[in-house]
Chains A and B, each alone.
Chain A
Amino acid sequence: MRKFAHIAPRTIEEAVSALQRYGDRASIIAGGTDILGKMKDEILPKYPEALINIKTIPGLEFLKEEAGVLRIGPLVRLEDLAKEPRIREKYAALAQAASRTASPHLREMGTLGGNLCQDIRCWYYRNPANRFPCLRKGGGRCYAIEGDNRYHSIMGGSVEGGCYAVHPSDTAPALIALSAEIITSKRTLKAEDLFQVDIEKTTVLDSDEIITEIQVPRPAPGSKSAFLKFAIRKSIDFPIVNCAAGIAITAGKVKAARICLNAIAVKPYRAVKAEKAILKQRVNEQSAEAAGNAALSEAKPMERNGYMVQIARVLVKRAILACRE
């Protein structure tokens, strides 16, 4: 790799101050499994001058339940989330999503905060040496529109710029289905408000803003959550489509539902139509299938990704069925 400065802050303030000094010329490194790949391939027009290593800040790896809220530090490794019995039992979608992310080795290194903030995997964006200076890097066009878009968005492009790359996170839809909140060094956000389509980034975070905590409220009694992922290989692969659902059933009928798809749109896609369709229904094959169809009723597949629509419908259906007792 090319030369860069390595900064090891000891407090969040030190990290923020270093980020402010560098503006957008420095990058945060947490698990390193995304940023180092980007740097080795030199996919972006500018190479970071410095890496601000937030693993040297103590106190960001906590995992505890307090006053009905699960509090997770941003540096908690995905494998620890996947294996923690309390999370597998009560926040199943999150544990399942973490356990199906990447590979065991990458889960031992990768962090929850990093998984949320990770960059897109569009193969034009990721082509080495900035072979395709696309819209998402500040360039003039999206190459996927006329190119090979088999893994790109089936729900249209981003409103302003027309980027069609999907968000690749597995934990993002699980956190959205579980009504999580993200606390940063500047503000508190609902999980679904964290994401946006921007140049060389996938979140609303400023260049000097760090996630400091992820909070998940204790699911109401009678709730279950589930996460499903479709990919070609069972390990290592990013999702082609994934779906998380959190459903509360009272007296046999759905009292509340949160269903979130990802890897099908430019941001994690909350399937509001599916939620409305399943509300107050009994959960069975028919109602779950109807909800799946409703979720994708406004799909706008591109030339080569029409197959993702059916996969998404089925994942919604199966995620709902997985939540019934």
Chain B
Amino acid sequence: MPRKNKPVAALKKYSCPYCRETFDAFEAIKSHILTGHPTESLPEPEGIIHLTINGQKYKFQVEPDWTLHYLIHDRLGLTGTKLMCDRGACGSCTVIVNGRPVLSCMMLAIECNGRQIETVEGIAASNHPLIEEYVKHHCMQCGYCTPGFVVTAKALLDRTLDPTEHEIREALGGNLCRCGTYPQHPKAILEAAKLLREAGTR
């Protein structure tokens, strides 16, 4: 299995911080900036990201190797979002990013600039019917997988207020529960969906 050797591309000396065009001579980049970007404010340093988490705006300085989960859980202290497998295989770290239920352990914080993030804390604070239904239907034993399930269910209900039980089971396919609470979740979610439909028609 031979390796291929590629010649290294020659690096130009200067790179424009606004548009990243490259130049060899200082005078060239100076006149480029003065004519091309006369009034732009300086771009932000690498590692600065802006996020909206549960409706609140944040500005962070992050390292490239931080996962979104590390930022939310360890740095911001929103410990509702749990970490278990850390490999994208269990769903306990689920958060909603721009409407999609995703795994925060498999996303880098630095690539989330400009995103809207919802965690289980935000869902609880908004008195979503899911919370009450989860309690009523006894969907948790140890409670560790529960935030992941709730966030995934909330993302599902954001997309459809009338999911079939099959759709619910499919949507929850990425969430694992070691205590075996699986039978309870569709019941709670169907009930929460019904409550949301009724609230919408009132």
| B contact residues, total (Cβ < 8 Å) | 35
Instruction: Report B's interface with A, CB cutoff 8 A.
Output: 1, 3-4, 6, 8-9, 11, 20, 46, 63-65, 67, 86-89, 91, 94, 100-103, 106-108, 110-111, 152, 170-174, 176
Judge if A14 is at the interface, Cβ distance under 8 Å: yes
**A104 partner residues in chain B, CB cutoff 8 A:** 101, 152, 170-174
State which of A1, A17, A102 has its C-beta within 8 Å of the C-beta of B65.
A1
CB within 8 Å for A208 and B6 given contacts A106-B103, A106-B174, A108-B102: yes
State which of A17, A37, A51, A234 has its C-beta within 8 Å of the C-beta of B87.
A37
Instruction: Report A's interface with B, CB cutoff 8 A.
Output: 1-6, 8, 10, 14, 17, 20-21, 23-24, 29, 32-33, 36-37, 40-41, 51, 53, 55-56, 77, 79, 102-106, 108-109, 138, 160-161, 197-199, 206-208, 234-236
**B1 partner residues in chain A, CB cutoff 8 A:** 138, 160-161, 197-199
CB within 8 Å for A105 and B152 given contacts A37-B87, A51-B64, A199-B1: yes
Closest B residue to A6 by beta carbon equals: B64
Q: How many A-B residue pairs have CB under 8 A?
A: 106
Q: Are A236 and B106 in contact (CB under 8 A)?
A: no
Interface of B is mostly: loop
CB within 8 Å for A105 and B65 given contacts A17-B9, A199-B3, A236-B174: no
Q: Are B103 and A105 in contact (CB under 8 A)?
A: yes
A1 to B6, CA, bound (A): 28
A14 to B107, CA, bound (A): 22
State which of B63, B65, B89, B106 has its C-beta within 8 Å of the C-beta of A109.
B106
Q: Are A2 and B65 in contact (CB under 8 A)?
A: yes
Instruction: Report the minimum CB–CB distance from B132 to chain A (whole Å).
Output: 24
Q: Are B20 and A109 in contact (CB under 8 A)?
A: no
A3 to B172, CA, bound (A): 34
Closest B residue to A161 by beta carbon equals: B1
**A206 partner residues in chain B, CB cutoff 8 A:** 4, 6
Q: Are B106 and A235 in contact (CB under 8 A)?
A: no
Q: Are A105 and B101 in contact (CB under 8 A)?
A: yes
Instruction: Report the minimum CB–CB distance from A213 to chain B (whole Å).
Output: 22
Q: Beyond the given A6-B110, A105-B88, A235-B170, please list 4 additional residue pairs across the A-B interface where CB-CB is below 8 A.
A: A1-B65, A1-B67, A37-B106, A108-B101
**B11 partner residues in chain A, CB cutoff 8 A:** 21
Q: Which of A8, A199, A206, A208 has the most CB of B within 10 A?
A: A8
A5 to B102, CA, bound (A): 23
CB within 8 Å for A103 and B108 given contacts A17-B9, A207-B4: no
